[in-house]
Amino acid sequence: MVSAQVLVARGLVRRLGTGAAAREVLRGIDITIDAGEFVSLVGPSGSGKSTLLYLLGGLDHPDAGSVEIAGEDLAAVDDDDLAKLRNRLIGFVYQFHFLLPEFTALENVLMPLWARGGGRSREDRAWGADLLGRVGIAEKAGKLPRELSGGEQQRVAVARALVNRPRLLLADEPTGNLDSVNAKAVYDLFRELNGGFSQTILVVTHDADWAARSDRVLRLLDGRLVGDERRREERA
């Protein structure tokens, strides 16, 4: 039976520095996110948002506390198995697309499958092409990143994050490098993924409109979770 709780974080603490110079960036964070939720994480610069996202995604290790994704304890495995868990359970979208310039849009999408020894079959390539269609750029599959607009490149990055059918999609300022038109298009894409495919999504954002249109808003201040607002009834 698949748990309704996709993400469970308990007592997360992260310190930077050592000795007397050490400071707590995160101070005992507890978060639970259920399947199908669309959640924004907001807070001023320096509040610890990106640090928290990296802990939740298994890209960094907490000094205290635990993270479970789909029932898998990220601290219970070694680094090699953690990388496999990330690849299987989590999709990442960043402010910058990080596409490899010498590979086509479709090849960039398939890279997470390549990392698992797949991505070469007709079925895998068809799935990658289908994802490009779902994000609205099917006709760009054979284009190199330099032949795509900024918004199109970010759509490729979203398709790449989804190619392993992740239980959780994490995004760090996914519209921070886009103009308002493309930012709205990326938001609409995330909303479609959430509504049409029940994709569970957690987004770090400074975009007030994005946060206002999320189902739930987590507020971080000085390394502490100070707000948890459910806004489903206000969703546009």
Q: What CATH number is attached to the domain comprising 226?
A: 3.40.50.300
Residues paired with 218 in a beta bridge: 41, 228
Residue 117 inside a domain? The answer is yes
pLDDT above 60: residue 193: yes
Compute φ and ψ for 208, nearest 5 degrees: -65, -35
**Inside any domain, residue 84:** no
Residue pair 66/75 in contact (Cβ under 8 Å)? The answer is yes
Could you tell me the pLDDT band of residue 232, with boundaries at 50, 70 and 90?
Answer: low
Q: Say if 74 falls within a structural domain.
A: no
- The pLDDT assigned to 1 comes to 36
Q: Cβ–Cβ contacts within 10 Å for residue 148, how many?
A: 18
d(CA 100, CA 88): 21
Half-sphere exposure of 182 (CA within 13 A, CB side): 15
The model's confidence at residue 177, banded by pLDDT at 50, 70 and 90, is: confident
User: Is 176 a domain residue?
Assistant: yes
The mean-pLDDT minimum among 18-22, 158-162, 179-183 falls in 18-22
Residue 236's pLDDT is: 44
User: Within 13 Å and on the Cβ side, how many CA atoms surround 174?
Assistant: 34
Domain count, the chain: 1
pLDDT score of 2:
46
Dihedral angle sign, alpha carbons of residues 216, 74, 113, 167: negative
Per the structure, the complete domain to which residue 123 belongs is given by: 36-58+89-234
Please check whether residue 13 lies inside any domain of the structure. no
- Euclidean distance between CA atoms 190 and 194, whole angstroms: 6
Q: What pLDDT score does 105 carry?
A: 96
Least confident of 126-130, 155-159, 205-209: 205-209
**Structural domain includes residue 31:** no
- For residue 66, pLDDT over 60 is answered with yes
pTM: 0.86
Q: Which of 13, 181, 153, 144 is nearest to 95 (CA)?
A: 153
pLDDT at 234: 46
Judged by phi (left if over 0) then psi (alpha if -120 to 50, else beta), residue 194 lies in alpha
- Would residue 104 count as lying in a domain? yes
Residue 30 or residue 22, greater confidence: 30
Q: Write the pLDDT tens digit of every residue in 155-165.
A: 899 899 889 88
Q: Poorest-confidence range of 93-97, 98-102, 167-171, 201-205?
A: 93-97
Q: Where are the extended beta strands (E) located within 35-185? A: 38-42, 64-69, 72-73, 90-93, 168-172
Other residues' Cβ atoms within 10 Å of the Cβ of residue 216: 18
List b or e across 7-42, with b for residues whose CB sees 16 or more CB atoms inside 10 angstroms.
bbbeebbbeeeeeeeeebbbbebebebebebbbbbb
Over residues 21-34, the mean pLDDT reads 91
pLDDT tens for each residue of 36-65: 999 999 999 889 999 999 999 999 999 999
